[in-house]
Amino acid sequence: MQIKTRFLISTLLVGAALAACGDDPEAPPPGTVELSWLVGTSGCAQSEVETVAVLLSGEGATNVRNFDCADGGAVIEGLEPGSYSAILEGLDEDSIARFGGESASISVRSGGISTVPTIRLEALPAEVEVSWYFENGRLCGSNGVEDVLVTFFRDEMAYRTESGPCEGEILIIDEVPANTYIVDVVGRDDRGVALFNGQDELTVGRGESADIEIRLSTVDSVSTRN
């Protein structure tokens, strides 16, 4: 039997509050927070979001509860008066966070109801770990490579470019919007001249953590000069 989570969370938190009040007869009456949300521009179903996880923190306590996305909101009772913040994540059927939003300052009044302005959940970006190797192994110094230049191409346009030391062997690129990219890695010498190059295609979804390994081959112009 399925129980609506908005009632379940209320029961749990009210129970905790009543227990606390029993221990301290001078404790002020708890407060209530009303939350509502919108998911992207397409709503829960088309965005494939089934659950909204609500993390409400403040006054030395953190509450995490899940709600059906289609409910559109939640009522959280039994909160100690004070200042809170809320972080919302839209989860798919595999409980992967695909959308997110937050409200930084929520004032909970004793015995009162605090209504939070509707929180818009936006698509979460992906994080990509890029690594590389040469035809003869992973030794950058032996190949004369000082650093690498990593570029994400989309529709033949450079969308994002980052650089880092070659010896690090990986470069983490965050805040990558969901899409399909050509990931291009250039190995450069200490003058910034490209000696090696490699690329591959990568598709990332909302909120995903992905990795891609690129094989670096000698740049044609370098072979010609040598």
d(CA 34, CA 2): 22
Mean pLDDT for all residues in the chain: 87
What is the model's pLDDT at position 24? 54
Per-residue pLDDT band at 103 (split at 50, 70, 90) = very high
- Going by C-alpha positions, the residue among 163, 167, 164, 161 that lies closest to residue 144 is 167
CATH number belonging to domain 5-123: 2.60.40.1120
Half-sphere exposure of 107 (CA within 13 A, CB side): 1
- For a pLDDT cut of 70, what percent of the chain falls above it? 86
Return the domain boundaries, the chain. 5-123, 126-225
Tens digits of residue pLDDT in 20-77: 444 455 778 999 999 999 999 999 999 999 999 999 998 777 889 999 999 999 999 9
What is the model's pLDDT at position 220? 79
What is the model's pLDDT at position 25? 59
- Going by C-alpha positions, the residue among 41, 61, 57, 60 that lies closest to residue 49 is 41
Q: What are the C-alpha distances in Å from 78 to residues 117, 155, 215? A: 20, 52, 57
Tens digits of residue pLDDT in 182-214: 999 999 999 999 999 999 999 999 999 999 999
Q: Taking 70 as the threshold, does the pLDDT of residue 221 lie above it?
A: no
Q: Are 5-123 and 126-225 the same fold in CATH?
A: yes
What is the model's pLDDT at position 16? 40
Q: Taking 70 as the threshold, does the pLDDT of residue 153 lie above it?
A: yes
Q: Taking 90 as the threshold, does the pLDDT of residue 15 lie above it?
A: no
What is the model's pLDDT at position 5? 31
User: By the 8 A CB rule, do 106 and 71 touch?
Assistant: no
Encoding tokens for residue 162?
């980052």
CATH T-level fold of 126-225: Immunoglobulin-like (2.60.40)
